[in-house]
Amino acid sequence: MKDYYVTDKAHIYWDEAIETVVIRWHAFARGDEFREPLDKMIELAVMKNAKKALFDSSHILVVAEDTKWLADEWLPRLLNAGIHYTATVNPMRSAVARADAGSVDPAPLLHHEFAGMCPAVEWLSGITA
């Protein structure tokens, strides 16, 4: 594991064992505090030519304006960076998140949600990218 970006809100690193760019949220963030780490994640994905991404969203809620930014601006950039497989750890997924998930064309992306890190890492480990 090599740290790339660390703040009190988020930790981004490259996991060599599963060849995955990882973001682990530690606290609520919104606006620039939310967007900057996600932009750094894309930077790292490009540098590593990553095909897989892991989001540990166990400790974060996303406000409506940031959810819109994710879908409209950030997700297309993530796909353009070359990510094809994503896993999200989100043990308390809300109905709002389920509704928003349908607004993005998932065709170029294989995504699964998990209740914990271990099953997410296991799933990503089984993907040769």
pLDDT of residue 95: 32
DSSP states of the chain? -EEEEE-SSEEEEEETTTTEEEEEE-S---THHHHHHHHHHHHHHHHHT--EEEEE-TT----HHHHHHIIIIIHHHHHHTT--EEEEE-TT--HHHHHHHTTS--TT-EEEEESSHHHHHHHHHT---
- The CATH code of the domain that includes 76 is 3.30.750.24
**Domain of residue 58, residue span:** 2-125
User: Which residue numbers in the chain have pLDDT < 70?
Assistant: 91-107
Count of domains forming the chain: 1
The model's pTM is 0.84
